[in-house]
Amino acid sequence: MKIIAGKLKGKKLITLLGLTTRPTLNRIKENIFNIIQNYLDFKGKIVVDPFGGSGNLVIESLSRGASFAFVNDINWAAYQIINQNIALCRLTAQVQSSNLDYQIFMKNLNKRCDVLLIDPPFANITCQQWLIDYTFQNQLLNDQALIVLETNVLLENLQLNSHFEIVSSKKYGKIYIKIIQFHEK
């Protein structure tokens, strides 16, 4: 796996062996970031990833100009890989990593974000709604923030209030990507 664009373009990342994490494939990642860049410029933005895996998506965001990232993974081995990749890319000053349950991670978050990456283990299909509701109720999203959902189910029952707008919904093989934009007013 490698970084697709930006100052770290071509940089190879370490991934966790086995099936405990599921890195976003490069072609899907490229499509996600192309869609994101239609709605925001990464320059100076804050990115949050509660299910970091290898750190691939936050490192891609930082490579494209994001100023800071908060990344988390409850899996200890994944957390170690994230930290190795952050160090490998010389991004330690721009990333705060943690090894917590995603709800505790979010409850400790004290900054508003511009991009929220939600790519949980596919067995966990209830966390997406909790994360959207929690970030809204606790005012953790900047105006025009994007939420990127990656799942293996369509998420037809997702409940969004009038502050949220689905700007993209695509299927790549067995993977569903939904991008939602938050509007303060």
pLDDT of residue 19: 45
Taking 70 as the threshold, does the pLDDT of residue 46 lie above it?
A: yes
How far, in Å, are 70, 107, 133, 149 from residue 137 at the CA level? 19, 12, 6, 19
How far, in Å, are 111, 169, 173 from residue 165 at the CA level? 22, 11, 24
pLDDT of residue 108: 97
Distance CA 82, CA 14 (A): 8
* Residue partners of 129: CB distance under 8 A and separation at least 6: 158, 159
Average pLDDT score over the chain: 92
Taking 80 as the threshold, does the pLDDT of residue 21 lie above it?
A: no
Taking 80 as the threshold, does the pLDDT of residue 24 lie above it?
A: no
Taking 90 as the threshold, does the pLDDT of residue 97 lie above it?
A: yes
Q: Are 29 and 49 in contact (CB under 8 A)?
A: no
Does the pTM exceed 0.85? yes
Instruction: Out of 17-21, 82-86, 139-143, 149-153, pick the least confident.
Output: 17-21
Taking 50 as the threshold, does the pLDDT of residue 6 lie above it?
A: yes
Contacts of the segment 34-39: beta carbons below 8 A, 24+ positions apart: 35/167, 35/168, 35/177, 35/179, 36/115, 36/146, 36/148, 36/179, 37/64, 39/144, 39/146, 39/167, 39/179, 39/181
Sign of CA dihedral 62, 64, 56, 45: positive
Domains in the chain, CATH or no CATH each: 26-182 (3.40.50.150)
Return the DSSP state at 150: E
Decide which of 123 and 82 is more confident.
82
Residue 122 — very low, low, confident or very high, per pLDDT cuts 50/70/90? low
